[in-house]
């Protein structure tokens, strides 16, 4: 039973960079939470503060109620897996895994037992005698994971552990890590800037931008109901259209759609799969390009002022470049002042 | 070093010529000196000596001043190397990993001694040592030779410590190691081979150091190389100097063997961030 509380944590680096800005998050026991955000949004800094490698300039971090904010890494019940795996190249795999146990004065036969068990768990049984440099990238990352797991940390921290691996391997390791995490029911904080990684692994996703939380939700909710225009644009493909609301209609160039909100500027968000098209002589949009992916098609459209939109269609062969098109959005959301102010029922 | 040789599929004529020239330049003089050491009679214009033998070995090694000088040299070199390691390694770690006011100036002041013509510097130091009554004493020579090792013992270890991956150290903290334990179990072994190279270089360099040893040590302290030079300068018999210089090959040969085993190929390159 391990819960992590991050309370209004702030990190301002000596140079003045505000890497993390009053960030709060509660991670429940056994939960896997993904920190997702663009480069430089403060994900690593936040994770490193939980691990004890950076000192917060404000706020509190507690694990199972114990305040760890000012404890050094060696006295925290956390285990960190680094992007660069950071295995100790002068030790073999066994010694890498045994090092932490030896520091805890565990008897040798017990160490051997534990190391063998964890090697089995990550699918590397019998690799104890290998030097870490004689392993493939994926195997190295598995050893790094095992090195943390063997100490049974209360909180597991992973900072883009698969970023340096190729796509195929990344997907396989992602599943393995998720399996292991669920089997051990270990509370986990996972940093990534791959949204498919976050969407496929996480119990909840934290979308970060500029050191702040944009949204914390289940993956499907983050996708279906983004709370800010940033999240809307960051997760998946989204048509984001800046325009004006006048008398209950959103207007951009020749494109209008009913939108029951007060007059003023607004950002309209439509997923490509929620934007239906109909051939039309009415002014609205024109087809720029049609791409046929076999299972579906993608139509690039231009509004009269050149704004580019995308629509996903079942029958791309019905459309031709240059053709006039009427836009029929099925589901829209609208944002004003960085907040969602309208969402059509799905 | 052999590691500098490029592996190429085709015959590298330029490389071969270069290697041959190097071999002649290095091995040639060694060969002549080596030959002299085992020569009893060698008169012009013969290309090879008329008579080989060990007569001069017996004579040279029978001299008590040779043994005294050898013992003194080994003592001096050991003391200087140990002192240098004790002072320089912590300093190098501080330079590599900590930031403190005056760091850069201090770092360059360590290296600055090697930016000026050495002999002038030595004369200036000798003048100071004269006032301190250090001339002709063991510790006077230790001090002057210590200064000579700073370059290797600071610069190379700084590079070695800087080349150690910070994440490796953090990972060790993460599994429960104290900062001291991290240094001992991770940083030092990672930087170890390169630091061993630095220690070795300063040991060998100190053993063969003559300028400081002669200027500060004379007349009371006579190290092996100083003795050899005085033989070559003052004695009509070439063989004394030749035998001594062959004897002096021994430490560098041992050092080379040791270096090959302990340090291995890429250590230097790694130390310099390669
Ligand atoms: N040691 C440091 N000193 C000063 N600024 C830093 C330091 N580490 C990070 N920063 C700054 O803090 C901000 C957040 O960095 P961080 O590494 O947390 O981003 P990130 O979200 O992990 O990005 P990425 O996806 O590229 O890893 C950046 O603007 C970065 O330049
Ligand atoms: Mg990062």
Percent of chain A whose pLDDT exceeds 90: 62
One domain for residues B98 and B184:
yes
Q: What is the pLDDT of residue B273?
A: 45
d(CA A178, CA A173): 8
Averaged pLDDT of chain B: 79
Q: Which residue of B has its CA nearest to A48?
A: B170
Atom 17 of ligand 1, nearest CA residue: A44
Averaged pLDDT of chain A: 90
B2 has a pLDDT exceeding 50: no
One domain for residues B70 and B45:
no
Contacts of B189 in chain A (CB under 8 A): 90
End-to-end CA distance of chain B: 16
pLDDT digits (tens, 9 = 90+) for B125-139: 888 888 888 787 888
Whether residues B171 and A79 touch (CB distance < 8 A) is answered with no
Give the pair of three-digit tokens for residue A140.
């190295």
Give the pair of three-digit tokens for residue A235.
């997760």
Q: What is the pLDDT of residue B106?
A: 77
A13 close to ligand 1 (CB < 6 Angstrom)? yes
Q: Which residue of B has its CA nearest to A150?
A: B175
One domain for residues B125 and B41:
no
Q: Which residue of B has its CA nearest to A81?
A: B171
One domain for residues B109 and B48:
no
Considering only residues B215 and A309, tell me which one the structure prediction assigns the higher pLDDT: A309
A16 has a pLDDT exceeding 50: yes
Closest C-alpha among A258, A227, A225, A223 to residue A243? A258
In sequence order, what E strands does chain B have? 39-41, 51-52
Looking at the DSSP bridge assignments, the partners of residue A189 are: A33, A157
Q: What is the CATH number of the domain that holds B71?
A: 1.10.3720.10
Q: What is the pLDDT of residue A282?
A: 74
Whether residues B173 and A74 touch (CB distance < 8 A) is answered with yes
Whether residues A79 and B165 touch (CB distance < 8 A) is answered with no
How far is C-alpha B84 from the geometric centre of its chain's CA atoms? 12
One domain for residues B246 and B146:
yes
Domains along the sequence of chain A with CATH: 4-230 (3.40.50.300), 237-343 (2.40.50.140)
Q: Does residue B5 fall inside a structural domain?
A: no
Q: Which residue of A has its CA nearest to B169?
A: A86
Report the separation in Å between the CA atom of A46 and the middle of ligand 1, taken as the mean of its atom positions.
9
Report DSSP state, residue A23: E
B54 has a pLDDT exceeding 80: no
Q: B170 in contact with A at a CB cutoff of 8 Å?
A: yes
Coil, helix or strand at residue B94: helix
A43 close to ligand 1 (CB < 6 Angstrom)? yes
Using left for φ > 0, alpha for ψ between -120 and 50, and beta otherwise, residue A105 falls in: left
d(CA A153, CA A168): 29
Q: What is the pLDDT of residue B97?
A: 82
Q: What is the pLDDT of residue A300?
A: 93
One domain for residues B44 and B70:
no
Q: What is the pLDDT of residue B262?
A: 61
Report the separation in Å between the CA atom of A224 and the middle of ligand 2, taken as the mean of its atom positions.
26
Q: B160 in contact with A at a CB cutoff of 8 Å?
A: no
Residue-by-residue DSSP string for A51-93: HTSS--SEEEEEETTEE-TT--GGGSSEEEE-TT----TTSBH
- Type and span of the H or E element at B19: helix B13-37
Q: What is the pLDDT of residue A112?
A: 93
Whether residues A86 and B171 touch (CB distance < 8 A) is answered with yes
Q: Which ligand is closest in space to the CA of residue A48?
A: 1
Closest C-alpha among B157, B7, B143 to residue B95? B157
Separation in Å, CA of A306 to nearest CA in chain B = 48
Q: B266 in contact with A at a CB cutoff of 8 Å?
A: no
Which residue among A74, A90, A147 places its CB closest to the CB of B189? Answer: A90
Contact between A226 and A215 under an 8 Å Cβ cutoff? The reply is yes
State the SS3 of A237-273: CCEEEEEEEECCEEEECCEEEECCCCCEEEEEEECHH
pLDDT digits (tens, 9 = 90+) for B255-264: 777 777 665 5
Least confident of A33-42, A162-171, A177-186: A162-171
Q: What is the pLDDT of residue A119?
A: 93
Q: Does residue B123 fall inside a structural domain?
A: yes
pTM exceeds 0.90, yes or no:
no
Q: How many CB pairs under 8 A join A and B?
A: 62
d(CA A317, CA A89): 57
Least confident of A252-256, B147-151, B162-166: B147-151
Considering only residues B182 and B273, tell me which one the structure prediction assigns the higher pLDDT: B182
pLDDT (average), residues B109-124: 73
**Sign of the torsion angle spanned by Cα atoms A68, A72, A75, A81:** positive
Listed by number, the residues of chain A in 32-71 with a beta carbon closer than 8 Å to a beta carbon of chain B are: 51-53
Q: Does residue B142 fall inside a structural domain?
A: yes
Contact between A32 and A201 under an 8 Å Cβ cutoff? The reply is yes
Residue that the structure tokens 């403190």 belong to: B100
d(CA B220, CA B140): 11
Whether residues B174 and A148 touch (CB distance < 8 A) is answered with yes
Contact between A119 and A125 under an 8 Å Cβ cutoff? The reply is yes
Listed by number, the residues of chain A in 210-239 with a beta carbon closer than 8 Å to a beta carbon of chain B are: none
Paired sense of beta strands A155-159 and A187-192, if any: parallel
Q: What is the pLDDT of residue B103?
A: 78
Contacts of A114 in chain B (CB under 8 A): none
Q: A82 in contact with B at a CB cutoff of 8 Å?
A: yes
Contact between A161 and A141 under an 8 Å Cβ cutoff? The reply is yes
Cα dihedral A144/A147/A149/A153 (nearest 10) = -110
Q: What is the pLDDT of residue B263?
A: 59
Q: B164 in contact with A at a CB cutoff of 8 Å?
A: no
One domain for residues B91 and B24:
no
Q: Does residue B128 fall inside a structural domain?
A: yes
Least confident of A114-123, B3-12, B58-67, B92-101: B3-12
Q: What is the pLDDT of residue B209?
A: 82
Closest ligand 1 atom to Cα of A37: 21
A39 close to ligand 1 (CB < 6 Angstrom)? yes
Q: What is the pLDDT of residue B272?
A: 46
pLDDT (average), residues A90-102: 93
Cα distances from B55 to residues A102, B37, B91, B246, in angstroms, run 61, 10, 50, 15
B114 has a pLDDT exceeding 60: yes
One domain for residues B194 and B161:
yes
Atom 31 of ligand 1, nearest CA residue: A40
pLDDT classification of B274: cutoffs 50, 70, 90 = very low
Give the pair of three-digit tokens for residue B219.
């007349």
Closest ligand 1 atom to Cα of A48: 18
Report the separation in Å between the CA atom of B125 and the middle of ligand 2, taken as the mean of its atom positions.
53
Considering only residues B221 and A274, tell me which one the structure prediction assigns the higher pLDDT: A274
Q: What is the pLDDT of residue A189?
A: 94
A20 close to ligand 1 (CB < 6 Angstrom)? no
Atom 2 of ligand 1, nearest CA residue: A13
One domain for residues B36 and B68:
no
pLDDT (average), residues A23-39: 93
Report the separation in Å between the CA atom of A154 and the middle of ligand 2, taken as the mean of its atom positions.
22
Q: What is the pLDDT of residue B178?
A: 93
B7 has a pLDDT exceeding 60: no
Q: Does residue B241 fall inside a structural domain?
A: yes
Total domains in chain B come to 2
Q: Which residue of B has its CA nearest to A96?
A: B172
Least confident of A9-23, B55-69, B144-158: B55-69
Atom 13 of ligand 1, nearest CA residue: A19
Closest ligand 1 atom to Cα of A15: 4
One domain for residues B221 and B92:
yes
End-to-end CA distance of chain A: 38
Coil, helix or strand at residue B57: helix
pLDDT (average), residues A64-82: 93
Q: B75 in contact with A at a CB cutoff of 8 Å?
A: no
pLDDT (average), residues A89-94: 92
Closest C-alpha among A159, A136, A134 to residue A39? A159
Whether residues A148 and B176 touch (CB distance < 8 A) is answered with no
Closest ligand 1 atom to Cα of A38: 25
pLDDT (average), residues B70-92: 88
Q: A79 in contact with B at a CB cutoff of 8 Å?
A: yes
Report DSSP state, residue B186: I
Which residue among B167, B185, B192 places its CB closest to the CB of A86? Answer: B167
For B130, the domain range is 64-271
pLDDT classification of B271: cutoffs 50, 70, 90 = very low
Q: What is the pLDDT of residue B236?
A: 62
One domain for residues B143 and B43:
no
One domain for residues B36 and B105:
no
Q: A342 in contact with B at a CB cutoff of 8 Å?
A: no
Using left for φ > 0, alpha for ψ between -120 and 50, and beta otherwise, residue B53 falls in: left
A283 has a pLDDT exceeding 70: no
ipTM: 0.84
Report the separation in Å between the CA atom of B146 and the middle of ligand 2, taken as the mean of its atom positions.
45
Atom 11 of ligand 1, nearest CA residue: A19
Q: Does residue B58 fall inside a structural domain?
A: no
B5 has a pLDDT exceeding 50: no
B8 has a pLDDT exceeding 70: no
């Amino acid at each position: 039973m391990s819960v992590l509380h991050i309370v209004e944590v702030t990190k301002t680096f000596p140079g003045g960079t505000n890497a993390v800005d009053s960030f709060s998050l509660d991670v429940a026991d056994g939960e896997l939470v993904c920190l997702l955000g663009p480069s430089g949004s403060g994900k690593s800094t936040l994770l490193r503060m939980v691990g004890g490698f950076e000192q917060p300039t404000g706020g509190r971090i507690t694990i199972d109620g114990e305040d760890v904010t000012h404890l050094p890494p060696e006295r925290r019940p956390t285990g960190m897996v680094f992007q660069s795996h950071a295995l100790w190249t002068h030790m073999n795999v066994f010694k890498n895994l045994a090092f932490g146990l030896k520091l805890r004065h565990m008897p040798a036969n017990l160490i051997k037992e534990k190391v063998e068990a964890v090697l089995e768990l990550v699918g590397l049984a019998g690799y104890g005698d290998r030097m870490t440099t004689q392993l493939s990238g994926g195997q190295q990352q598995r050893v790094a994971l095992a090195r943390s797991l063997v100490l049974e940390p209360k909180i597991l921290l992973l900072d883009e552990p698969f970023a340096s691996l190729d796509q195929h391997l990344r997907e396989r390791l992602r599943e393995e890590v998720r399996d292991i995490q669920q089997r051990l029911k270990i509370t986990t904080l996972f940093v990534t800037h791959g949204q498919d990684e976050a969407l496929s692994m996480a119990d909840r996703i934290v979308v970060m931008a500029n050191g702040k939380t944009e949204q914390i939700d289940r993956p499907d909710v983050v996708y279906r109901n983004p709370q800010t225009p940033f999240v809307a644009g960051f997760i998946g493909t989204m048509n984001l259209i800046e325009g004006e609301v006048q008398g209950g209609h959103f207007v951009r160039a020749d494109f209008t759609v009913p939108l029951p909100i007060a007059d003023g500027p607004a950002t309209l968000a439509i997923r490509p799969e929620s934007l239906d098209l109909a051939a039309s002589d009415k002014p609205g949009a024109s087809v720029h390009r049609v791409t046929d992916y076999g299972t579906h098609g993608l139509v690039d459209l231009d509004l009269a002022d050149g704004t580019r939109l995308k629509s996903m269609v079942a029958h791309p062969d019905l459309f031709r470049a240059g053709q006039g098109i009427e836009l029929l959005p099925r589901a829209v959301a609208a944002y004003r002042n960085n907040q969602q102010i309208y969402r059509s029922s799905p | 070093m052999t590691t500098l040789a490029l592996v190429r599929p085709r015959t590298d004529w330029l490389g071969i010529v270069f290697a041959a020239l190097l071999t002649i330049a290095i091995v040639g003089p060694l060969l002549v000196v080596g030959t002299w050491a085992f020569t009893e009679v060698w008169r012009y214009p013969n290309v090879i000596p008329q008579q080989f033998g060990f007569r001069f070995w017996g004579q040279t090694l029978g001299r008590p001043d040779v043994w005294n000088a050898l013992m003194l040299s080994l003592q001096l070199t050991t003391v200087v190397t140990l002192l240098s390691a004790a002072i320089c390694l912590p300093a190098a770690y501080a330079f590599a990993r900590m930031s403190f006011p005056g760091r850069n100036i201090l770092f360059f002041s360590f290296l600055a001694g090697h930016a000026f013509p050495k002999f002038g510097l030595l004369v200036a130091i000798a003048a100071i040592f004269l006032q301190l009554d250090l001339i002709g004493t063991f510790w006077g020579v230790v001090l002057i030779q210590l200064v000579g090792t700073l370059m290797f013992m600071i610069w190379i270890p700084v590079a070695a410590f800087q080349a150690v991956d910070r994440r490796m150290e953090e990972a060790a903290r993460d599994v429960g190691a104290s900062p001291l334990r991290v240094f001992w179990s991770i940083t030092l072994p990672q930087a170890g081979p390169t630091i061993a190279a630095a220690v070795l270089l300063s040991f060998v360099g100190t053993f063969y150091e003559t300028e400081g040893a002669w200027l500060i040590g004379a007349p009371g302290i006579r190290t092996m190389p100083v003795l050899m030079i005085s033989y070559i300068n003052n004695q009509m018999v070439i063989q004394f100097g030749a035998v001594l210089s062959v004897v002096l090959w021994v430490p560098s040969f041992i050092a080379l063997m040791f270096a090959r085993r302990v340090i291995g190929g890429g250590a230097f390159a790694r130390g310099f961030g390669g």
